[in-house]
Structure 1
Amino acid sequence: MTENLLVIPYPKKVSFSQGIYEVKKTGSILFDGPDAKKIGILLRKLLLNYDLNYILKSSKSSQENNGKIYLIINSKVVPQIQGYKLIIDDSITIIGNNSAGLFYGLQTLRQLLRQFGLNIPKLVIEDYPDFLHRGIMIDISRDRVPKMETLEYIIDKLSELKINQLQLYMEHTFAYTNHKEVWEDYSPLTHDEIVYLDNYCKERFIELVPNQNTFGHMSKWLVHEKYRHLAEAPDGYTTPWGTKYDYPFSLSPAVPESINLVEELLDELLPLFDSDQVNIGCDETFDLGVGKSKELCEKYGKGKVYFDFLMKIYSIAKKHKNNVMFWGDIIENHPEFIPLLPKDMIAMVWGYEENHPFEEKCKLYSKSGLSFYVCPGTSTWNTFIGRTNNAVGNIRNAILNGKKYGAIGVLTTDWGDNGHVQHLPLSWVGYLYSAHLSWNTQDLQMRKFIDGMDM
């Protein structure tokens, strides 16, 4: 029977009993407290989709003879954080370690109903995540800004997969009050839309983490005359792979007004999010030292100049958020500065090929004592149909090494380089596989994974 269960993420432990439980047409959702009641409201909505009429009742006062679904929060019965126990016998019982655990048990029940309808095998599922932070990042700056209904659809599906963090990567696609010329042609998210999405995520146990690049990847700002003087290399630069990039790219640490712009942006953006974290970017500053900061870099070293500007951005972000994330690729080239980073920073360790040296990178941060995420990718960008085999290998490589060396989270990225030509459905392979492995690092047979995707 186990091989017929199509649930993503696949649970840690599944025990089947004899028989089938037929979900009754009417009954009660019996909750043990106000937090369980909130999950019960979501369960009632789910059951109405199957024409099932279940009434919410306190478990202390009910004498129900029809169908019973018990919702219980008890950290002694389920000690693992975010864990749950789902029992289907002569009734349905979901026990959560906390509200999140109860919600995740509901998501498993949702998938069982989708697979089996109203005749579910009797079973016991005991389940909990290997990573407490399981995220997806979507690039909304490179040429595709999703409509609100698309973002709602993505959030709904990610919550069903027990993903609990979402980042929307932004360079210029937020409607900053004083910078209309930067975003006016790019369908930016507005203040009200951010607040709405933040609440929409929260209701589904997803943390919406602000993600605004603040150092490199600033071309959409720096091409405008108003900001051009802030650029490290206003006329472009030669990339590490030998091609010419014809536009300004990074803010220059040698220009004092650069950090003022960063402060203005973060002061406006960050208070809109309830999350206590922020991703400040700071990746791929390839032009650092080739323009206005050349003299500084020659005098102090490129690593020192990068580190000092990173610390200035960190100090601004800390006014609003307790934990500051940054992409780790540049600091990895100057590992002597890693021990100097504040311990409330979180390095985002990224790489997108199947053979990326995640073990080496994870070991570096693990030895330093700095918290870190592993950040693989969906392997869809710069393609029309994706690179599925590479995505699976890359995600597996990242997550298994992250688990081995103590990463605190996973953020699987979906970029839009060079026109964002890929369509959203292609990215779901990466979303789903990351959702499984970040919850349950026991690898899933690929046939079962594919069948689970179809459900």
Structure 2
Amino acid sequence: MHARAVSRVIGLGFLAVAGAFGAARADETSELRLVPFPKQVRMQSGTFALNRPLVLEAPAAAAERFAGQLAKDLAIGEMRAPQTRAAEGRGPWFRLSPKAGGAAPVAEFRKEAGEEEYVLEVRPDEIICSAAGQPGLYYGLQTLRQLIRANRRGDGLPVLEIRDWPSLRWRCYQDDMTRGPSSKLDTLKLEVLLGSEMKMNLFTYYMEHQYAFKKHPAIGPANGSLTPEDLAALVEYARPLGVDILGNQQSFGHFYHILKHDEYAELRENESILCPVKEESYRLLDDLYSEVCPLLPFPWFNVCCDETWGLGEGPSKALAEKIGVGGVYVQHMRRV
């Protein structure tokens, strides 16, 4: 009986220690500053030292870009930039270690994994990221950068394993170019870059009139319009960052800055709504779309059409009396 009681005490003590250890690990995980927070994090014992010569092995097409991004974050801690070497082997992966070489890592992914899924392992002797596709590799790099910027332990990183994938297929954000100063190309590029670092993959710009339309030069202000050349350059800049550009053009309401011009006065339903019962309105929209859509590979385009206050009270009044204001709205949307 005495021996059995001692065994129980020892067993309970072991469970208490294990529970406390697990709680400590949970606390460590919750204290990580990562945005967005990964799906799975497993903390382990040990540290990866950053304050030593390091080599980054990465796909040849991305190695210099990846190393340049890491160098900025390491410089914050007054640590040297890594050297680069092209990664060999199948599958997207990168490795940060004191000495390059070794077999290419092999990671297992979920059966339903998309190309944005990645596994990032911080070990005492190396950091390895494997991804299901190139976007996932880029996201794994961004997580590593956040670990370096915001989660260092002195000159090292905690040993851990992160598995992550997005909950949403499209994660979009917007620059409202119409209200306030118009963003120039450099600002738009910066917004795309910052969004990509937070694993956003779709960028759009809100547009009422500030575009340099060649067929309708009166619409866009001379000193504040997005040009076709800038839009095309933004698409190309965003591509390697895994960000698509979603085109945008108000196409019903919010048309004041176009309709205020005398040459478009006949297209007014009221001062801010494009008239939906005049064929010239649709010829105008065709012209606007024809100058923007060919520059955008992304298959969607946002025609907006919100806030049509006063619809059915102008030239469309007779039609609204027949089919209702909602019917007029739906008819316009189908036509667009």
Query: Structure 1-normalised TM-score?
Result: 0.60
CA 1:266/1:69 → structure 2, altered by over 3 Å: closer, same or farther?
Answer: farther
* Distance apart, 1:121 and its partner CA: 0.4
Partner of residue 157, structure 1: 194
* CA distance in structure 2 between the aligned counterparts of 1:83 and 1:136, rounded to whole angstroms: 21
* CA distance in structure 2 between the aligned counterparts of 1:73 and 1:18, rounded to whole angstroms: 21
Q: Contact (CA 8 Å) 1:74, 1:98: kept in 2 or not? A: no
Partner of residue 39, structure 2: 12
Matched, 1:113 2:148: yes
Partner of residue 6, structure 2: none
Q: Secondary structure at the match of 1:156?
A: helix
Q: Secondary structure at the match of 2:85?
A: strand
* 1:364-397: CA deviation from partner (whole Å, max 9, x where unpaired): xxxxxxxxxxxxxxxxxxxxxxxxxxxxxxxxxx
Q: Contact (CA 8 Å) 1:296, 1:305: kept in 2 or not? A: yes
* CA distance in structure 1 between the aligned counterparts of 2:210 and 2:101, rounded to whole angstroms: 44
Q: 1:57 aligns with which of 79, 86, 90?
A: 86
* Distance apart, 1:48 and its partner CA: 3.1
Q: 2:129 aligns with which of 94, 109, 127?
A: 94
Matched, 1:264 2:281: no
Partner of residue 22, structure 1: 49
CA 1:47/1:68 → structure 2, altered by over 3 Å: closer, same or farther?
Answer: farther
- Which of 143-152 and 255-264 deviates more? 143-152
Where do residues 263-302 of structure 1 align in structure 2 (5 Å cutoff)? 263-302=286-325
Unaligned runs of 5+ in 1: 234-247, 314-455
* Distance apart, 1:157 and its partner CA: 1.2
Matched, 1:187 2:224: yes
Q: Contact (CA 8 Å) 2:97, 2:127: kept in 1 or not? A: no
CA 1:21/1:171 → structure 2, altered by over 3 Å: closer, same or farther?
Answer: same
Amino acid at match of 1:85: V
Q: Root-mean-square deviation (CA), in Å?
A: 2.4
Q: Contact (CA 8 Å) 1:211, 1:278: kept in 2 or not? A: yes
Matched, 1:307 2:297: no
Identity between Structure 1 and Structure 2 (%): 29
Partner of residue 109, structure 2: 77
Partner of residue 411, structure 1: none
Q: Contact (CA 8 Å) 1:70, 1:93: kept in 2 or not? A: no
Q: Contact (CA 8 Å) 1:156, 1:204: kept in 2 or not? A: yes
Partner of residue 137, structure 1: 174
* Distance apart, 1:179 and its partner CA: 2.0
CA 1:145/1:74 → structure 2, altered by over 3 Å: closer, same or farther?
Answer: farther
Structure number with the bigger relative contact order (C-alpha 8 A, sep ≥ 6) is: 1
- Which of 259-268 and 65-74 deviates more? 65-74
Where do residues 34-45 of structure 1 align in structure 2 (5 Å cutoff)? 36-45=59-68
Partner of residue 10, structure 2: none
Amino acid at match of 1:113: I
* Distance apart, 1:311 and its partner CA: 1.2
Q: 2:275 aligns with which of 230, 234, 252?
A: 252
* Distance apart, 1:170 and its partner CA: 0.4
Which one has a bigger Cα radius of gyration? 2
Matched, 1:104 2:139: yes
Partner of residue 164, structure 2: 127
CA 1:23/1:65 → structure 2, altered by over 3 Å: closer, same or farther?
Answer: closer
Q: Secondary structure at the match of 2:267?
A: coil
Amino acid at match of 1:87: E
Q: 1:216 aligns with which of 249, 253, 258?
A: 253
* CA distance in structure 2 between the aligned counterparts of 1:133 and 1:71, rounded to whole angstroms: 34
* Distance apart, 1:162 and its partner CA: 0.5
* CA distance in structure 1 between the aligned counterparts of 2:89 and 2:326, rounded to whole angstroms: 63
* Distance apart, 1:67 and its partner CA: 3.8
* Distance apart, 1:100 and its partner CA: 0.8
Query: Structure 2-normalised TM-score?
Result: 0.81
Unaligned runs of 5+ in 2: 1-27, 75-79, 91-95
* CA distance in structure 2 between the aligned counterparts of 1:284 and 1:141, rounded to whole angstroms: 16
CA 1:139/1:69 → structure 2, altered by over 3 Å: closer, same or farther?
Answer: farther
Amino acid at match of 1:159: S
Partner of residue 66, structure 1: 98
* Distance apart, 1:39 and its partner CA: 3.8
* Distance apart, 1:186 and its partner CA: 5.1
* 1:233-277: CA deviation from partner (whole Å, max 9, x where unpaired): 2xxxxxxxxxxxxxx111111111001100010011111112121
Q: Secondary structure at the match of 1:200?
A: helix
Amino acid at match of 1:128: W
CA 1:66/1:74 → structure 2, altered by over 3 Å: closer, same or farther?
Answer: closer
Q: Secondary structure at the match of 1:183?
A: coil
CA 1:70/1:153 → structure 2, altered by over 3 Å: closer, same or farther?
Answer: farther
Where do residues 345-424 of structure 1 align in structure 2 (5 Å cutoff)? none
- Which of 257-266 and 91-100 deviates more? 91-100
Q: Contact (CA 8 Å) 1:174, 1:188: kept in 2 or not? A: yes
* 1:164-184: CA deviation from partner (whole Å, max 9, x where unpaired): 111101010110002222212
